[in-house]
Each structure stands twice: as structure tokens, then as C-alpha cells.
């Protein structure tokens, strides 16, 4: 029986997670931990849809603009950071809020990360160079040969996850998915999982509007300033890579914007697939705030929590 609870809000991009997290933080008078693998970077702003400056002044946020793009960030490091942050919040409050769309980070926080084997530097460099030269088809073929488990069940359209899986397999001989399925760690707090769900058409409409808004706010200028760092892992991100192609003269600006929208739609679809596999998530429409609050209060008062 725990008397501390973390409300975890997840779901696809552009589904209304940030707005709900602010409403709940205000209602429960508590702080928010971001579970977004890109919002933590100080140098990325417009393209990662951070909360506004006024929202950040109103509600304390953790893991927003806390790291540099020069720093390597992963789910294991996030787990350590988020557990320290939630402990800090629980010193003042009985409820904390986590919000984000990076499924692996949320899983690490709720269930713990397995101790990942060390990746050999020469393996990492070889994999990254080959991917840069040949592309995703090379990654797919290498995983088919070396890690059939990931090839059949992993995210085979996500180059970052694919490179990580291949690096782990070539360095340790173990599939990263086998490592992810080890017994989960127990937490000293309860978790209530809330998922944001919108019809696909509405998500796509929101994505298109958001991308247009980002371009109007100066995303191209932001990408241009970051262009010298485009090789960094933090910049292998939808919204930036497409504009780097435009800067390189590989496409027109309109083609780059259309590709951002298309790739963001694909990303939202992958996120939804990931979260729908988690049976502990209770799905709501983003504007169903009253029912969400009732649902949380019912569970926090009765202590009938479900681990995520």
C-alpha cells in the first residue's frame, strides 16, 4: 500500500498531453516530469513543442532544457533522473505527474531498465557510418541476419532504435528485446496510467497545424543554427532532419515541410502502437478532464492502484 502516486500521461504526439498535464498539475497543486527524449535538450525549442515560457513559470517542470545536445541521453539515464525527481516532488506532494510520448522512457521509470551491456566504441562507429552511407535497408538486413528477434518484433522503421539494437547485439551477442523482458523492478509509489486518445483524423489535423505553426515561429532558422551539429544523435529528429535536407539542397522547402508532416504522422502511429500494447493504460479523450480527475481521485482515495 503506497500513499504516493505518480500519474503518467502518455499517447501519440499532438493528442493533447501537455494541456492535460498542466490542468492536472494545477488541480492537484503539484509538479511535472517530462518523459520526452527531445524536450530535455536546451538547444531544441520550436521543433520539440516544449511547454510555453509562461507555463514553465506557472508549473515547475523537470527534464525540460536540462541537458545539452552534446550529452548522450538514454532510457537508463532517464530512469535515474526521473526517480530522483519524483522523490523530490514526493517530499512536498502526494501526487506527481509525468507526461510524454517516449514509451521507452516511461517504461524505464515504471518498471526499471535492465542493465544494458557496454557497447564497444568501434562497433558503434561502424554501425553509424554504415547507416549514414547505405541507409535503413542496411540496418534491416543486418538485424535480419544477427537479431531475428528484434527483426520480427522491434521498431523496424526507427533507425535510432535499430542502430541501438544492432550495437547491443554485435557487442554482447544478446538481443536488446531479451534484455527488456527481464522481471520488472518494484517502485515505492503507485502509478496511474492515463492515455490520450483522439480519432486519427483529428491527430493528423493537429499535426499539420502544429508543423505550420512551428514554421511560422521560426523552425527553419532554429534548424539552420543547429545545422553544424546535425551529426549528433539528438538531432536525428523529425522536424530537423527534413530541414537539413532542404539546407543541403536535396528538396524544396515545401517538400521538407510536407515530409515533416508525413514523418510526424508515422511517428504518432508508432507511438500509439507502443502504448496500446500496455493494458494498464486507461484511455480518455483529452478534453474529458472531469472524468479523468474523478478517475484519479477514486483510485488515490481507495488506494486501488495499478502498476504500469
pLDDT, residue 114, reads 67
* Highest CATH level, class, for 5-114+182-302: alpha beta
- What is the residue whose three cell numbers read 478532464? 289
pLDDT for 262: 97
- Digit-coded pLDDT (tens) for 189-245: 999 999 999 999 999 999 999 999 999 999 999 999 999 999 998 999 999 999 999
pLDDT of the residue at 2? 74
Predicted pLDDT at 56: 97
Q: C-alpha dihedral over 18, 22, 25, 26, to 10 degrees?
A: -170
99-108: per-residue pLDDT in tens?
A: 999 999 999 9
**pLDDT reading at 29 higher than 60:** yes
Q: 304 pLDDT band (50/70/90 cuts)?
A: very low
Name the band, by pLDDT with cuts 50, 70 and 90, for residue 181. low
C-alpha 263/C-alpha 21 separation (Å) is 25
pLDDT at res. 157:
80
- Arithmetic mean of pLDDT over the chain: 92
CATH fold match for the domains 5-114+182-302 and 121-180: no
CA distances to 72, 115, 253 from 256, rounded to whole Å, are: 27, 39, 5
Are 93 and 7 in contact by the 8 Å Cβ rule? The answer is no
Grid cell locating 218: 521560426
| Per-residue pLDDT at 160 | 83
What's the pLDDT at 119?
Answer: 85
Domain boundaries, the chain: 5-114+182-302, 121-180
CATH T-level fold of 121-180: Histone, subunit A (1.10.20)
Strand order in the sheet with 190-196: 61-62, 32-34, 95-99, 5-10, 190-196, 282-284
pLDDT at 184 over 80: no
- 194-197-200 Cα angle (round to 5): 160
- Mean pLDDT of all residues in 282-292: 97
How do residues 237-270 score in pLDDT, each as one tens digit? Answer: 999 999 999 999 999 999 999 999 999 999 999 9
- Confidence band (pLDDT; 50, 70, 90) for 177? confident
C-alpha cell at 101: 510520448
pLDDT of amino acid 306 = 45
Q: What is the pLDDT of residue 305?
A: 43
pLDDT of residue 178: 80
pTM, to two decimals? 0.82
pLDDT of 277 strictly over 60? yes
Contact between residue 18 and residue 49 where contact means Cβ atoms under 8 Å apart: yes
Residue 153, pLDDT > 80, answer: yes
Per-residue pLDDT, 307: 46
CA torsion 62→189→278→206, rounded to 10°?
A: -30
Return the percentage of the chain with pLDDT > 70, whole number.
95
Amino acid at each position: 500500500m503506497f500513499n504516493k502516486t505518480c500519474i503518467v500521461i502518455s499517447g501519440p504526439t499532438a493528442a493533447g498531453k501537455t494541456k492535460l498535464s498542466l490542468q492536472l498539475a494545477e488541480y492537484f497543486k503539484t509538479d511535472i516530469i517530462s518523459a520526452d527524449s527531445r524536450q530535455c535538450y536546451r538547444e531544441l525549442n520550436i521543433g520539440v513543442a516544449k511547454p510555453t515560457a509562461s507555463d514553465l513559470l506557472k508549473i515547475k517542470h523537470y527534464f525540460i532544457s536540462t541537458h545539452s545536445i552534446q550529452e548522450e541521453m538514454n532510457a537508463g539515464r532517464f530512469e535515474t533522473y526521473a526517480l530522483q525527481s519524483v522523490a523530490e516532488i514526493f517530499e512536498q506532494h502526494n501526487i506527481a505527474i509525468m507526461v510524454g510520448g517516449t514509451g521507452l522512457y516511461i517504461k524505464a521509470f515504471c518498471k526499471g531498465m535492465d542493465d544494458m551491456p557496454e557497447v564497444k566504441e568501434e562497433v558503434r562507429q561502424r554501425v553509424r557510418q554504415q547507416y549514414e552511407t547505405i541507409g535503413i535497408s542496411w540496418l534491416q538486413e543486418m538485424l535480419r541476419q544477427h537479431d531475428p528477434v528484434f527483426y520480427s518484433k522491434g521498431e523496424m522503421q526507427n533507425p535510432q532504435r535499430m542502430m541501438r539494437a544492432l550495437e547491443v547485439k554485435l557487442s554482447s551477442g544478446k538481443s536488446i528485446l531479451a534484455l527488456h523482458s527481464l522481471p520488472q523492478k518494484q517502485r515505492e509509489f503507485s502509478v496511474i496510467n492515463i492515455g490520450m486518445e483522439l480519432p486519427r483524423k483529428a491527430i493528423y489535423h493537429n499535426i499539420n497545424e502544429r508543423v505550420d505553426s512551428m514554421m511560422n515561429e521560426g523552425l527553419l532558422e532554429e534548424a539552420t543554427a543547429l545545422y553544424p551539429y546535425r551529426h549528433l544523435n539528438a538531432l536525428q529528429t523529425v522536424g530537423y532532419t527534413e530541414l537539413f535536407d532542404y539546407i543541403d539542397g536535396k528538396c524544396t522547402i515545401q517538400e521538407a515541410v510536407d515530409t515533416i508532416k508525413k514523418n510526424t504522422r508515422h511517428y504518432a502511429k508508432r507511438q500509439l502502437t507502443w502504448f496500446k500494447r500496455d493494458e494498464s493504460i486507461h484511455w480518455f479523450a483529452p478534453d474529458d478532464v472531469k472524468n479523468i480527475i474523478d478517475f484519479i481521485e477514486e483510485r488515490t482515495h481507495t488506494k486501488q492502484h495499478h502498476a504500469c
